A and B are shown apart, each in its own frame.
Chain A
Amino acid sequence: MTEMTASVTAARPPSDINKRSLPGSLIIHALLIAASLLMLYPLLWMVSASVRPENEIFSSTSLIPSSIDLSSYARGWVGLDVSFGRFFWNSLVISLLVVTGNVIACSLTAFAFARLRFAGRNFWFAIMLGTLMIPYHVTLIPQYVLFLNLGWVNTILPLVVPKFLASDAFFIFLMVQFFRGIPRELDEAAMMDGCSAWRIYWKIMLPLSLPVLATAAIFSFIWTWDDFFGPLIYLNDMNTYTIQLGLRTFVDSTSASDWGGLFAMSTLTLVPVFFFFLFFQRLLIEGIATTGMKR
């Protein structure tokens, strides 16, 4: 095996390697389709609920609505004081900032933990993992007071700035695991050539880590898109609300809720996330895998 020429190959589906029989392939497809329907049923129900007349939502059990009524979408979009378009925009801005912050800061930190040796590394790594374990409800009040004293409450700063400071230990840990999977020989060769740590990070590590960076980007985006507790606490002005916060104002347990509007807007909110995912997954899948070092 070591006789093979080392080269950088693109990861392609090995369709020519594992030739399988047609029945086997059909079975797998059948299973996947069945599984897909199972996965999708709740979502299909929600989409169906968003286009049917309001008083039919809970009373009818079938997926097919008796008539298509798009008023839920219209109502949901403009029904609140602030149009939903505003919420979309706010969510988009925050999510994109968070993605940027996470990818940059966490990759820097992970590189340090995975590749560099320095005194106290294991200690700091343990601390970093420790931050992953703290449930946020508890540091909530002290952090709120801290941000209040900084004057950041009612802005998006408390939601965004921590990400640029690598507060998401999940991604640090994820990237560490991936970086450790990349052969050290490349680093060592570069170091022998006199590369600084930064060049190794920038020229070697990052390009080889596109799958994990794409993963981190996708997750960052989606989790931020879905987060409501942070915005609940830090965003007072309705004009700054994010989508999830906006969605929750559709539902109040003590008075009339607008379920049709909720489902319509929930369906809409899936769209950008879905496309974000579609776009980045190509990076993920068509990422580059190495077999070894260049000779």
Chain B
Amino acid sequence: MSNAMRTPAGAINVERYQGAVAEGRFRRLWNANAPGYLFLLPWLIGFFGLTLGPALISLYLSFTDFDMLQSPRWVGIANYVRIATADPKFSAAMHVTLTYVVFSVPFKLTFALLVAMALNRGLRGLPIYRAIFYLPSLLGGSVAIAVLWRQLFASDGLVNAALSHFGIEGPSWISHPNYSIYTLVALSVWQFGSPMIIFLAGLRQIPQDMYEAASLDGASKFRQFYKITLPLLTPVIFFNAVVQTIEAFKAFTPAFIISGGTGGPINSTLFYTLYLYQEAFGNFRMGYASALAWILVVIIAIFTAFSFLTSRYWVHYDD
């Protein structure tokens, strides 16, 4: 408390103190919070202007019957009840999506990390390898992928041709309900270039002199990896894990292109968002589709919250 607050006799002038504090508090609040909010301004404008409104409307739509051609009709929780109790396609879609997430994310991240580490070591021809491993991701959701994947995984495709050299007669992977989902997993893993690049960026940010010092101290490469690389990489690993999982839950294009929008055979490639799309644009049931979407949001939110809460036990930040 500054001396200006004290009366000449040394006692505290309450009013002046309170006034000064109030003014100071405002100024302090402003100084403390203004920079943050100013930097946040573009995002806030975008959020309130472009995201919040449509999101709230879609939440409202989830309680309606909306065929897009006429006005929405309120039906309360009927959509949600139906999803929870009477929708076999919902369970099928959940099952397919969970399988996809559980298999594609770990494999994708593992490959991405291994290859990133291999490429980080300064091999000859490094830029070429890096580009090659990234190329598949460039094809994105191209229509051509459907054809390419059929060439690989149909009963007379390349994969079976390769297997036949080992005397194995493979099924038609891409058109058999038991295996078709795994061809989609393979597609996802094939496009591991994105998390790989992110891992590379993360590896690049680890100071080299740490490795030098560790070497001088006699640490083996394994120890270096375990004690230096891994801990310092945890923020990136966390990021990739969370984001790839969210994207896997939301995946749409691979299933859409490869199954021709049917999710077949026998719903074996019916990704959740594909089911949503069918309901919205195929069956004119936008209200129901909105309900499906919000359920997905909740599921993803639970997963993400869980990830963040447990992250403090293993993710190491430098701040």
Contact = CB atoms under 8 A, between A and B. Distances in A.
| A touches B (Cβ under 8 A) | yes
Contacts of A167: 46, 50-51
Interface string A283-294: 011010111100
Main secondary structure of the interface of B (DSSP, over half): helix
Contacts of A109: 39-40, 42-43
A84 B200 CA distance: 35
Contacts of A74: none
Contacts of B53: 142, 146
B183 to A, nearest CB: 12
Nearest to B280: A137
Contacts of B26: none
A223 interface: yes
A2 to B, nearest CB: 10
Contact of B144 (A28, A180, A228, A266): A266
A105 B207 contact: no
A162 B50 contact: yes
Interface stretch (A64-72, A87-95, A124-132): A124-132
B205 A138 contact: no
Interface string B127-140: 10111111111111
B276 to A, nearest CB: 6
A118 B33 contact: yes
Interface residues of B, number: 106
A279 B75 CA distance: 54
Contacts of B135: 39-40, 43, 270, 274
B235 A181 contact: yes
A14 interface: yes
A236 interface: no
A80 to B, nearest CB: 15
Contacts of B10: none
Interface size range of chain A in the complex: 35 or more
Contact of B318 (A108, A164, A183, A287): A183
Contacts of A15: 121-122
A132 B296 CA distance: 12
B113 interface: no
A194 B274 CA distance: 54
Interface in B45-66: 45-47, 49-51, 53-55, 57-58, 61
A266 B51 CA distance: 33
B289 A138 contact: yes
A247 B140 contact: no
B41 to A, nearest CB: 8
Interface in B205-248: 205-213, 215, 221, 232, 235-236, 238-239, 242-243, 246
Interface string A105-120: 1001101110011110
- Nearest 4 A/B pairs, CB to CB: A13-B122, A165-B46, A118-B36, A226-B140
Given A135-B297, A287-B204, 15 more contacts: A1-B210, A29-B124, A39-B136, A105-B43, A134-B293, A138-B293, A142-B55, A142-B58, A146-B53, A174-B198, A181-B235, A183-B319, A228-B141, A259-B147, A289-B204
15 contacts: A13-B120, A28-B123, A42-B149, A112-B37, A117-B32, A133-B300, A141-B61, A162-B50, A214-B201, A215-B197, A215-B198, A215-B201, A219-B194, A226-B138, A263-B144
Interface of A: 1, 4, 9, 11-15, 17-18, 25, 28-29, 32, 35-36, 39-43, 45-46, 49, 58, 61, 105, 108-109, 111-113, 116-119, 121, 124, 127-135, 137-139, 141-143, 146, 162, 164-167, 170, 172-174, 177-178, 180-184, 196-198, 201, 211-212, 214-215, 218-219, 222-223, 225-226, 228, 244, 247-248, 250-251, 253, 259, 262-263, 266, 270, 273-274, 277-278, 281, 284-285, 287, 289-292
